[in-house]
Structure 1
Amino acid sequence: MFDMGDLKQGIVFLPDRMKKSLMGFGNTAAKDLQGKAQSNRPWTDRTGHARQRLKGYCTESEDGLRIYLAHGVDYGVKLEFGYEKRYAIIYPTLRKCGPEIMAGCRKILRGR
């Protein structure tokens, strides 16, 4: 005979566990994006500020979670969209790593 009490209790907490798993994955993915962007930046550091202030972070939103990669310097927009986009790092990093991040989220949602 099986004791269903533990199973029922586990089912009740499944959404919280899944949310915690997704947030943990999101935080890890954001830090990974940050590290890859900092390592693979296409510009030459002068002061190091643009590299140091590239930040990846994850937040909870109404419709799930959001993973961000952003510049922390005022000239970050110029790096991304100026100079014929030669110094862009955010979009190339997201384009490269995005499919892997989405696959990880799907894996968590499927319970694998």
Structure 2
Amino acid sequence: MSDGCKMEMHGLDEAMKRLKEFTPRLKAALAMDAQNIATEMEKWAKENIVWTDRTAHARIFLKSTVKWTNSNTLMVALSHQVDYGVYLELCNESKYAILEKAIQEFTPQFMKGWKKIVESAKVI
């Protein structure tokens, strides 16, 4: 009968300490990259609207938001800040929709940037 297996792990405490210090820096880098791209995405959406700009409110109040919704989820959003934005996006067979187009346009840039950050940090 075997008494099991004994493993000695030297340096585990130090590795855990370094990981705890590193995580906030990684999260800050991801959030900063996201904010930069979200700003570009907002600008792109404002420049590429397809509706007739009557008051400029819908264009002016297209806003990007970047925030951590919990410790592991970074939210990047682009939204209308006018009450009729939902109609621009969903009515008329989405003829005037811009949000989904902007998201599709910038998703590869987000993925490329975040992959580069994670790889440079040697996390994966």
TM-score by length of structure 2 reads 0.77
**Residue in structure 1 matched with residue 38 of structure 2 by the alignment:** 30
> Normalized per residue, which structure has more helix?
1
With over 3 angstroms needed to count, the CA separation of the structure-2 counterparts of 1:13 and 1:42, relative to structure 1, is same
Over aligned residue pairs, what C-alpha RMSD do you find?
1.7
Give the secondary-structure state (helix, strand or coil) at the position aligned to 2:67.
Answer: strand
Deviations 1:69-103 (A, max 9, x none): 00001010100010111100000110111111111
**Residue in structure 2 matched with residue 67 of structure 1 by the alignment:** 76
Larger Rg: 2
* 2:63 alignment partner, one of 52, 55, 59: 55
| Counterpart-to-counterpart distance in 2, 1:86 and 1:11 | 48
1:1-112 equivalent positions in 2, closer than 5 A: 13-62=21-70, 63-111=72-120
TM-score by length of structure 1 reads 0.85
Structure 1's unaligned 5+ residue stretches are 1-7
| Counterpart-to-counterpart distance in 2, 1:25 and 1:44 | 32
Q: What is the letter of the counterpart of residue 30 of structure 2?
A: L
Cα deviation for residue 10 of structure 1 reads 6.5
**Residue in structure 2 matched with residue 5 of structure 1 by the alignment:** none
With over 3 angstroms needed to count, the CA separation of the structure-2 counterparts of 1:13 and 1:80, relative to structure 1, is same
Structure 2's unaligned 5+ residue stretches are 1-14
**Aligned residue-pair number:** 105
